[in-house]
Structure 1
Amino acid sequence: MAEDPVSLPGEFALIARHFRRLAGPGALDLSDDAALLDPPAGRQLVLAADAMVAGVHFLPDDPPETIGRKLLRVNLSDLAAMGAAPLGYLMTTALPRDLPADWLGRFVDGLAADQAEFGLSVLGGDTVSTPGPVALSLTILGTVTPGAALRRGGARPGDSLWVSGSIGDGALGLLVLQGKLPADAAGHLAERYRLPRPRLALGQALAGLARAAMDVSDGLVQDLGHLCRAAGCGAVLRSAEVPLSPAAAALVAADPALLALCLTGGDDYELLFAAPPEADAQVLQRAAIAGAPVTRIGRFEAGPPEVHVPDTTGMPLRLPQGGWSHF
């Protein structure tokens, strides 16, 4: 029988009141020091971790529901990049004592909604207090068929370069929310910043077809550079082919300088991947079945691990930075 939250010390009462409803079978009702988990037979574990801090990864006044969902989704995006299916997660929350009374309940509401959507549950974690700001960390567990995980290092010269969805909405959405950029489609851009779309079905569909993959979190150009370094080859990224949402395209049409931000701003959480050119039709077919739009935006080429970004005239596009860095 679960303990009555009223009779528990403060931290444990908070866990019982808010987090227990997120727990799955392996979590042991969040009443022990660790979880017990039996991985599915014949599957390999995939683990990843991401942290989010108020004022860095989300705005302090963002709705708590979207903060919880974003925390889970950026980690699910890491699973998608490996072609893995979600299994469960561990979470640590560092929360100021002066948070609004309903903040944590709404945060958990968001997590509960996405647990139901993506089919996983919390296994455990830790809750501590902090003088601020809110700091959150999540470790995700997934599974994949042994030997089938997508990796960063397999691209070869001549391979096609693909990306899912649209690029730039997250970076533009942040500026909209900060009041730095007016936009008729502010709602769409803000939602794309607050609620990434982990491409789990696409990642799994690309198993055995894509030679390399990763998710775009720190900027398209910078993350493509990671693929190039892992593979030991270069890449040409055709800026005119990069897919933009109608909202982003309208802003870029009004101010072409914003294209550089779309290419380097990050917070896209789309899949960037390499596939042999003879598999282009298969890529499109599998993406359609997975319900994820994909666009061929360039190619890998022999040479140093550098990213070349020509404009519509073939001249190098001027980019003020390659992408986001914490340090």
Structure 2
Amino acid sequence: MEQSFLAWLKGRSSDLPRVAVGIGDDAAILHWPPGAWPPGAWPPGAWPPGAAREGQREGQQLVIATDQVADGVDFLLAEHPLPAIGRKAVLVNLSDMAAMAAEPIAILVTLSLPREGSTQIAAGIYDGILAVAKEYGLAIAGGDITIYDGPVAVSVTILGAVPSGGGWLRSGAREGDAIVVTGAVGGSILGRHLEPEPRVRQARRIAESVDVHAAIDISDGLSLDLDRLCAASGVGAEMDLEAIPIHADAVKLASRDSASPLEHAWGDGEDFELILAVAPQSVAALLKQDFGVPLTQIGTFTGRTGLWARRGGHLERMSPRGFIHGRR
């Protein structure tokens, strides 16, 4: 439902002169007026060498994303600690900033709470939100609280910035680009889904190091999100399935069910790693560098649309799998 509705909405949304990137990417990018950033807005070291600084504020674009986590879908209120719920609500939004190579600045938080125990629930959730805000230097700029007869939901809107024209999009992958993934994937339901590690700092460093043509974060599954990037870029992907970095959690989960570790890595959601389209002349240099998280080439973007794997000397069409919101 989500993708079809977004396509419908995108076709009916008005083009505005300040919207550089609108519906359909990990975040929106807006052109921002010159001089909008006040002196001292950026802490020392917030931008890596070569990025726009205070004297170049005209070269900044505003990046905005929003995401919601809800009881019964993204967490279980009866089982999960309240601070963990608050942390996840912010961390998943930080992952969207990473997918755009953006520097996060501030968040707005909206809580929807049941009438019974609302004060205690809000305080517990905010314990987690405040901890993440401190860790990433985020300002909590406002928000809202609604009390109603329904499940707990936490909605976070995050604001960030990129040097003008420097934001990664889903739509720039080219034939011949390397498919690179950060970290390892699969089995996040064993606990990592509550404590994702958004690759914000790594993304900014990678953006300064090599030419990245496109990117997306893995929120709904490696293959499903890769397929979305391919669709946005008008390319396909030839995969080296043996190169996919499988998380130990996927191996552990496979020992408990009928799926293989590779199947979990292929389709499990909420890994919140990054898929990058890297220029072929840059990939070797990229993989040699230490970004504090492993980087792995798992294939190549091709002119043939769809996801493909080479088996026994021939290409086999692969079906994307993952979590689709609104489907049970």
Q: Per the shorter chain, which TM-score range? A: 0.7 to 0.9
Distance apart, 1:37 and its partner CA: 7.8
Give yes or no for contact 2:254–2:264 (8 Å, CA) kept in 1.
Answer: no
Q: 2:77 aligns with which of 60, 66, 81?
A: 60
Alignment CA distance shift 1:106-1:37 (3 Å): farther
Counterpart position of 2:241: 239
Which residues in structure 2 correspond to 1:109-148 (within 5 Å)? 109-148=127-166
Deviation, structure 1 residue 255: 6.0
Counterpart Cα distance in 2 of 1:285 and 1:65 = 37
Alignment partners' CA distance in 2, 1:317 and 1:228: 14
Which of 268, 283, 287 is 1:284 aligned to? 287
**In structure 1, distance between residues paired with 2:182 and 2:219:** 13
1:295 alignment counterpart: 296
- Aligned partners of 1:162 and 1:294 also within 8 Å: yes
C-alpha contact 1:238 1:311 (8 A) present in aligned 2:
no
Cα distance in structure 1, aligned partners of 2:249 and 2:227: 27
Shift of 1:312: 8.2
Number of the residue aligned with 1:326? 325
Task: Map Cα deviations across residues 173-201 of structure 1 (whole Å, 9 max, x no partner).
Answer: 2xxxxxxxxxxxxxxx31x1111100001
TM-score, normalisation: structure 1: 0.76
* Identity %, equivalent residues: 37
DSSP 3-state at the match of 1:154: coil
Question: How far off is 1:162 after superposition?
Answer: 0.7
Structure 1 pair 244–66 and aligned structure 2 pair: CA distance change class (3 A): same
Secondary structure of 1:105 counterpart = helix
Instruction: Work out whether 1:197 is the aligned partner of 2:214.
Output: no
Identify the structure with the greater strand proportion.
2
Secondary structure, counterpart of 1:218 in structure 2: coil
Q: How far apart are 1:46 and its partner, in Å?
A: 0.6
Aligned counterparts of 1:100 and 1:313: Cα–Cα separation in 2 = 60
> For residue 262 of structure 1, what is the amino acid of its counterpart?
A
Alpha-carbon distance in structure 1 between the residues aligned to 2:235 and 2:318? 22
Counterpart of 2:61 in structure 1 is: 44
Q: CA deviation at 1:106?
A: 1.9
Residue in 2 that maps onto 1:307: 307
Q: Residues 311 and 71 from structure 1, CA distance in 2 versus in 1: closer, same or farther, beyond 3 angstroms? A: farther
* 1:217–1:223 Cα contact (<8 Å) kept: yes
DSSP 3-state at the match of 2:224: helix
- Per the alignment, residue 20 of structure 1 pairs with none
Q: Is the 8 A contact 2:187 2:268 kept in 1?
A: no
Matches within 5 A, 1:1-327: 38=38, 41=54, 42=57, 43-61=60-78, 62-99=80-117, 102-170=120-188, 173=189, 189-190=190-191, 192-207=192-207, 209-252=211-254, 257-258=259-260, 259-286=262-289, 288=290, 290-304=291-305, 306-309=306-309, 316=316, 322-327=321-326
How much has 1:60 moved relative to structure 2? 2.2
Give the aligned length.
Answer: 270
After superposition, the C-alpha distances for 1:260-311 in whole angstroms (9 at most, x for unaligned) are 233112111100011022212322244x1x312111111101122x112456
Q: 1:299 to 1:136 in 2, by over 3 A?
A: same
CA-to-partner distance for each residue in 1:211-257, whole Å, 9 max, x for gaps? 11010001111111111111111102222211122332344477672
**CA RMSD of superposed structures (Å):** 2.4
Moved more, 257-266 or 153-162: 257-266
Q: 1:88 Cα shift?
A: 0.1
For the residue of structure 2 that corresponds to 1:59, the secondary structure is: coil
In structure 1, C-alpha distance between the alignment counterparts of 2:313 and 2:253, rounded to whole Å: 21
Q: Which runs of 5+ in 1 are unaligned?
A: 1-35, 174-188
Q: CA deviation at 1:98?
A: 1.4
Separation in 2, partners of 1:251, 1:197: 20
Which structure has the larger Rg over C-alpha atoms? 1
The one-letter code matched in structure 2 to 1:193 is: H
SS of residue matched to 1:229: helix
State whether residues 215 and 270 of structure 1, in contact with CA within 8 Å, keep that contact through their aligned partners in structure 2: yes
Kept in 2, the 8 Å contact 1:217–1:266? The answer is: yes
Alpha-carbon distance between aligned partners in 2 of 1:104 and 1:317, rounded to the nearest angstrom: 47
> 1:260–1:318: 8 Å Cα contact kept in structure 2?
no
